[in-house]
Amino acid sequence: MRYAVIMAGGAGTRLWPMSTRARPKQLLPLIKGRCLLEIAVRRPVGVVDASRVYVCTGVDYVEKIRREMPEFSAAQILGEPCGRDTVNAIGFSAAILSRLDADAAMAVLTADHLIEPGDIFQQCLEAGFETVERHPQALVTFGITPTYPATGFGYVHKGQPLAVDSQALRVQAFREKPDERMAEQYISSGEYLWNSGMFVWKARTILEEIRRYAPETYAGVMEIARHWQLPDYQTRLAEIYPSLPKVSIDYAVMEKSPDVAVIPMPVQWLDVGSWGSFAATLTADAAGNKAAGCQLAALNSHGVVAVSQDQHLIATIGVQDITIVHTPEATLICPTQQAENIKQMVSQLQNEFGDRYV
């Protein structure tokens, strides 16, 4: 049967002070009153039955997700005791699903992206499942059709069709985030897609590839799965999982496997991982000012991004290209072009105040 696993373990540091350990970005009602995780779990439904959509997240978020989305059973939320990057989260999820269903086909999807239109996404997801059902050894990724020479994304070099009449193309290579000149070359060649970080494969196939290329992870997740739903499951999970090597699925498996294919996905794709990308979801006034969850009074101000949790009034005078985020506990004010330094600020706050504000 078909399954989907939503990767929702990130802390969302770049969306501080709204995103914190107590309430990470995927649970914030950022998009028209809905949280990113709520949008993500509904996205594959229709291609995958809602009862077979799972969430892989931090163990501290399991109960929060159940409160926010009570339609999810406890078994549908897989809690990691700590973050160990994507090869372990995916291997862990695949090992559990393979115990439930020896022939499971699983999609691995993200919790922090906005993808439109939804029907095109579902058509591509359907093509991904059909590909692995016909070619069980294939590891299918999805490549977003690029719209500009982005330097913040990885790229997939697409090749020839996997089979006659197949939407899936063989992957020639994965490319790391390029500089601007190289990104422009990728775009002009027409041979590259943005690496979406979304996949479809048979659970047993990805486990075999992990066994081949990341044997320590394989041994660990299979031992954890062996205790699934037994009384000592949480104990074994807490003992084993933190010891697994921290590495991404791209580096550990996808860049090494000979059976990788890509399906082009011509959608609008926005990674809502920073205040800059969140601002792209908002409507600007004539001066380029944008507001969410607050009242903004902007005098002689241009390019202001103002966000609040409680309809706070934010007033600015004579400022330009500035981001302001207000919560009851903390307020962030920074030039928009320096928003990439928020992670550094969070580290400084931890050093000075512990976990009080983060």
Distance CA 165, CA 187 (A): 25
89 has pLDDT over 80: yes
User: In the chain, helix, strand, coil percent, each to 5?
Assistant: 40, 30, 30
**What pLDDT is attached to residue 85?**
95
**What pLDDT is attached to residue 152?**
85
Beta bridge pairs of residue 306: 291, 324
Pairing of strands 169-175, 322-326: unpaired
User: Hey, what's the torsion of the CAs at 299, 304, 309, 313, to 10 degrees?
Assistant: 0
Q: For residue 9, what pLDDT band results from cuts at 50, 70 and 90?
A: confident
**What pLDDT is attached to residue 47?**
98
**For 320, which DSSP code?**
B
11 has pLDDT over 90: no
Mind listing the pLDDT tens digit for each residue in 54-87? 999 999 999 999 998 899 998 999 999 999 999 9
288's tokens: 């380029």
What would the mean pLDDT of 37-57 be, rounded to a whole number?
Answer: 97
The predicted model scores a pTM of 0.93
Q: How far is CA 313 from CA 98, 114, 297, 306, 328, in A?
A: 52, 28, 7, 10, 13
**What pLDDT is attached to residue 18?**
95
Q: For residue 23, what pLDDT band results from cuts at 50, 70 and 90?
A: confident
In contact, 40 and 111? CB cutoff 8 Å: yes
Mind listing the pLDDT tens digit for each residue in 245-281? 999 999 999 999 999 999 999 999 998 989 999 999 9
Segments of the chain assigned to CATH 3.90.550.10: 2-271
Residue 199: closest CA among 174, 225, 223, 224: 174
Q: For residue 12, what pLDDT band results from cuts at 50, 70 and 90?
A: confident
Contacts of 263 (CB under 8 A, 6+ apart): 124, 127, 128, 131, 140, 141, 142, 143, 167, 168, 169
Share of the chain above pLDDT 70, in %: 100
What would the mean pLDDT of 336-352 be, rounded to a whole number?
Answer: 94
Other Cβ atoms within 10 Å of 32 Cβ, number = 8
Give domain 2-271's CATH architecture.
Alpha-Beta Complex (3.90)
**What pLDDT is attached to residue 332?**
97
> Nearest 5 degrees, angle CA 22-CA 26-CA 29?
90
Other Cβ atoms within 10 Å of 341 Cβ, number = 13
Distance CA 176, CA 274 (A): 20
Distance CA 146, CA 268 (A): 9
Mean model confidence pLDDT for the chain:
95
Residue type, 86: T
55's tokens: 């969430």
**What pLDDT is attached to residue 175?**
93
Distance CA 312, CA 119 (A): 37
Mind listing the pLDDT tens digit for each residue in 119-173? 999 999 999 999 999 999 999 999 999 999 998 899 999 999 998 778 999 999 9
What would the mean pLDDT of 87-95 be, rounded to a whole number?
Answer: 98
Q: Where are the beta strands (DSSP E) in 35-162?
A: 53-58, 77-80, 105-110, 113-116, 139-144, 155-161
What would the mean pLDDT of 310-325 be, rounded to a whole number?
Answer: 96
Q: At what angle do helices 215-226 and 85-100 cross, to 10 degrees?
A: 40
Distance CA 125, CA 122 (A): 5
Residue 111: closest CA among 177, 58, 178, 175: 58
21 has pLDDT over 90: no
